[in-house]
Homo-oligomer: A and B are copies of this chain.
Amino acid sequence: MQFKLTEERQMLQDGLRRYLADSTDHEKIAAATDGATGLDHALWDGLAEMGLPGAMFTEDQGGFGGEGFDIMTVAEELGRAGLPTPLIDSALLSGTVLAETRPELTQDLVAGKIVGFAHAEPGARYDLAHVATRAEKTAEGWTLTGNKAIVQFALAADGFVVSARTSGATDAKEGISLFLVPHEHVTLRDYPLNGGGRAAEMTLDATLPEDALLGEAGAAYALIETAHARAIAGQCAEALGLMETIKDLTVDYLRQRRQFGQPIGKFQALQHRMADVLIEIEQARSAVINLCGNLDTPERDLHVSAAKNLIGRVARQVVEESIQMHGGIGMTMEYALGHFAKRLSMVDHRFGDADTHLERFIHLSQSAA
């Protein structure tokens, strides 16, 4: 039983924290969100040089990490900085798929190349098995037709891992396949996101060579689920980092802001509510540790849903309490809190909200029992 980071992870964490503190802030993030791809490419290149995507892969895969606690270390720092990056989409989602199906390509991801992940669809909500996009085998190869929803950093990506159905009903786990699709084969409508970064709706109507297929046709569901388990670990750790920064901002505010002749942190009602927030952030940290420590155990999915549920609930409490304790200033986009709070608030809208994962947790524990 040991809860300290290894020396390597500690060094990576320290380095990232310093670098991010020096390189970005909520105004730069807003500027990048208003920019062409939603990404500050120079910053991303710098992060890649520091080993940001590399830590998501094992040495065999050309990286220097790949375990749950590597994901936690890195993603928590991105959250602390409030920085939207393609880490989850490119390194954790597409990366997990490619490491399994095209190991020769992971080197490029480690070097910072961005491969987007186009799986979710407009009507899917949070159902990973909902794939209406079709892939037909033709003489020339594979013809993909359909629509993908909210593909993050699509304009920054060189290509995409795309899911499409080669057989089965729209909601079936069987019959889903994955393809590697170059950027020029898709049509994108991009837009900014609440909480920063950009995404796009994707229209597919393209024919791809035969070798665009990743892995076995029709059998991709388990790999998609594994990729999402890792992505959710990253997302939850990022949420934890966001909570830490929001906590710091709020504690500072409570200490410095004076009203009725004293710092508002002297008001007992706020003290007690802040204590509850602190307790819940510790709960969130423990849930992330539980998930990251179980990414490769049979309890993985139970911890995925436990963490996603708990993080979703705590995120709402942290968002709402921090804005309330800040008062008016917390409502503005000029002050940093607004960005962090919105970004944290969006965590519950990707990969399943707290209720969805509560349902899944019940299902998993009742089928285990």
Chain A residues with CB under 8 Å of chain B are: 267-269, 271-272
Contact = CB atoms under 8 A, between A and B. Distances in A.
A269 B271 CA distance: 8
A350 B272 CA distance: 35
Contacts of A271: 269
6 contacts: A267-B268, A268-B268, A268-B269, A269-B269, A269-B271, A269-B272
A201 B90 CA distance: 66
Contacts of A269: 268-269, 271-272
A364 to B, nearest CB: 23
Contacts of A267: 268
A245 B27 CA distance: 55
A355 to B, nearest CB: 15
Contacts of A268: 267-269
A268 B271 CA distance: 10
A266 to B, nearest CB: 10
A340 to B, nearest CB: 26
A86 to B, nearest CB: 42
A281 B267 CA distance: 25
Contacts of A272: 269
Considering the complex of A and B, which 6 residue pairs feature the smallest CB-CB distances, nearest first?
A268-B268, A269-B272, A268-B269, A269-B269, A267-B268, A269-B271
A267 B267 CA distance: 9
Nearest to A266: B268
A358 to B, nearest CB: 15
Nearest to A267: B268
A269 B269 CA distance: 4
A267 B269 CA distance: 8
A254 to B, nearest CB: 14
A268 B264 CA distance: 12
Nearest to A272: B269
A268 B265 CA distance: 12
A271 B271 CA distance: 13
A272 B268 CA distance: 10
A268 B260 CA distance: 14
A33 to B, nearest CB: 38
A246 to B, nearest CB: 22
A45 B298 CA distance: 67
A279 to B, nearest CB: 15
A251 to B, nearest CB: 18
